[in-house]
Amino acid sequence: MTGTDRVPTVVWDIGGVLLRWEPRVLLTEVLLPRHPGADVDVLRHDIFGSPAWHEFDSGRIGPGELARQAAASAGLDPEDLVLLLDAIYPHLTDLTPTWELVRRVRAAGHRVVYLSNMPHLITDRVGPRMTSLFEEGLFSCDAGEAKPSPGIFPIAEEALGLDPATVLFFDDGPANIEAARSVGWRAELFTDADAAERVLADGGWL
């Protein structure tokens, strides 16, 4: 899609928007039985907020290196991280109301795409699930960059044929919303499908 034929597009994050993503629940289920008394919020910061996880999402390191680096950062064994990684895909169940909302936006004649932070370990299975909903999309591991780095947005513009002036972006991460706005995107924090529907209705998408 060239700059002359780019059309208004609703861009959707996936984790926490279309698929369940509750890191505290995941850590509680997987790691707390192995480390009773551990602080879940500290673990969340030290694992999912670590530079290693950003590199993993960006496709720059694989699961083995991620396990080594994140385990060292969190004071865990690499085996803990392997178990955590194995548990992620089963955790990603559909958030059905959002799927239905995306279908309604598409049925109204609008273009819908996704932009999501995910490593290759997960996208190999999540990607095929998205084909029934979206015309196309971009995962961070394929972009070589991950949110909230502002650098991912021009990559997405080029890859998906997006015009920042006619984009509406939903993401559940406040830092990602701030980064998108910094490069000229209209971005709205996703809390639930009902709130997103109100935004879409107010904007004339529905």
Q: What is the mean pLDDT of the chain?
A: 95
pLDDT above 70 for 2: no
Interatomic CA distance for residues 48 and 173, integer angstroms = 13
- 27-42 confidence digits (pLDDT tens): 999 999 999 999 999 9
- 47-71 confidence digits (pLDDT tens): 999 999 999 999 999 999 999 999 9
- 91-149 confidence digits (pLDDT tens): 999 999 999 999 999 999 999 999 999 999 999 999 999 999 998 999 999 999 999 99
Ramachandran angles phi, psi of 89, nearest 5°: -60, -45
User: Within 10 Å of residue 10's Cβ, how many Cβ atoms?
Assistant: 22
pLDDT of residue 5: 63
pLDDT band at residue 4 using 50, 70 and 90 as cut-offs: very low
pLDDT above 90 for 1: no
Nearest alpha-carbon partner for 161 in 178, 184, 136: 136
Average pLDDT over residues 73-96: 96
pLDDT of residue 94: 97
Q: What percent of the chain has pLDDT over 70?
A: 98
| Class of residue 174 by CB neighbours under 10 A (exposed 0-12, middle 13-18, buried 19+) | exposed
Torsion sign over Cα 11, 17, 21, 25:
positive
